A = this chain, B = another copy of it.
Amino acid sequence: MAIDTSRPAIVAVPRLELRESVTAALRELIFTGAFATGERLVETELAERFGTSRGPVRDAFAELEQVGLLTSGRGKGTYVRELTTIDVDELYTLRQSLETLAVRRAVDRLGETVVDELNGHVSAMEVAFAANDPVAAASADMAFHRTILEGADHGRLLVAWERLADQTRLLMHALSQILPEQRLGGLDHGPIVSAFETGDTVAAEMAIADHLDQARSIVMQSFAARDAASDLSD
């Protein structure tokens, strides 16, 4: 047992690679709106800001571009993605497809503890909406859906969904600036939870599909209104 007990704490913590912590930091900055949509991100700037070289920043750019949070052209820089009504339609129709599959697989597998967890996220969502905290509301909302996705026990499904979840977070922030009154708060997660409680697979599939259709409709309307307004101002 005479092994280097001088600094056990450091060894205990799993070493986080710089590229990952930079990626996580950037992701969070995007979600919280520290960067405006369409804003250009410069490697050297962020490298200095994070106290690293350009390498890890470059890696983070590449990953976040894959995820769909950033866009870049040939040597033309990297920008925070701007979402259009087409993007909104794609996001929600694809999420509908993925989450329907997730529900189908998850209903049988999940027990009461998960229903409690789902209810917890719903409560957190209501609190956040009441407090007019869109970031917290979005977090709770995504946590609700993530719980279902993780219950599906399907690695590739989860990975595919996580990319859309990240883009949804970006979307939510854009939306919070368009739609202050949070009409999304009116969306009901109840039927989904109920179907999970009774173990009714078909009802659960229909509930999640319906839920995402309503969300799509609301968000599409908001974006269409924004685009119409910006067209006028141009």
Residue of B nearest to A19 (CB): B62
Indicate whether A157 reaches chain B with its CB closer than 8 angstroms. Answer: yes
Residue of B nearest to A154 (CB): B90
Q: Quick one: given A63-B66, A156-B68, are A101 and B90 in contact (CB under 8 Å)? A: no
List B contacts of A157 (CB < 8 A). Answer: 90, 93-94, 97
Indicate whether A59 reaches chain B with its CB closer than 8 angstroms. Answer: yes
- How close is A26's CB to chain B, nearest CB, in angstroms? 15
Chain A residues numbered 85-117 whose CB sits less than 8 Å from any CB in chain B? 90-91, 93-94, 97-98, 100-101
- How close is A213's CB to chain B, nearest CB, in angstroms? 14
- How close is A18's CB to chain B, nearest CB, in angstroms? 12
Number of interface residues of A (CB under 8 A): 23
List B contacts of A59 (CB < 8 A). Answer: 62
Q: Quick one: given A62-B62, A63-B62, A100-B97, are A155 and B15 in contact (CB under 8 Å)? A: no
List B contacts of A94 (CB < 8 A). Answer: 101, 154, 156-157, 160
Indicate whether A234 reaches chain B with its CB closer than 8 angstroms. Answer: no
Q: Could you say which of B15, B74, B101, B160 contacts A160, with CB atoms under 8 Å apart? A: B160
Chain A interface SS verdict (over half) = helix
Q: How far is the CA of A210 from the CA of B42 in the complex (A)?
A: 48
Q: How far is the CA of A45 from the CA of B163 in the complex (A)?
A: 32
Indicate whether A148 reaches chain B with its CB closer than 8 angstroms. Answer: no
List B contacts of A164 (CB < 8 A). Answer: 156
List B contacts of A231 (CB < 8 A). Answer: none
**Chain A interface (Cβ within 8 Å of chain B)?**
15, 17, 59, 62-63, 66, 68, 74, 90-91, 93-94, 97-98, 100-101, 154-157, 160, 163-164
Q: A68-B156, A97-B97 are in contact. List 17 more A-B contacts (CB 8 A).
A: A15-B74, A17-B74, A59-B62, A62-B62, A63-B66, A66-B66, A90-B155, A90-B156, A90-B157, A91-B156, A93-B101, A93-B154, A94-B156, A94-B157, A97-B157, A156-B164, A160-B163
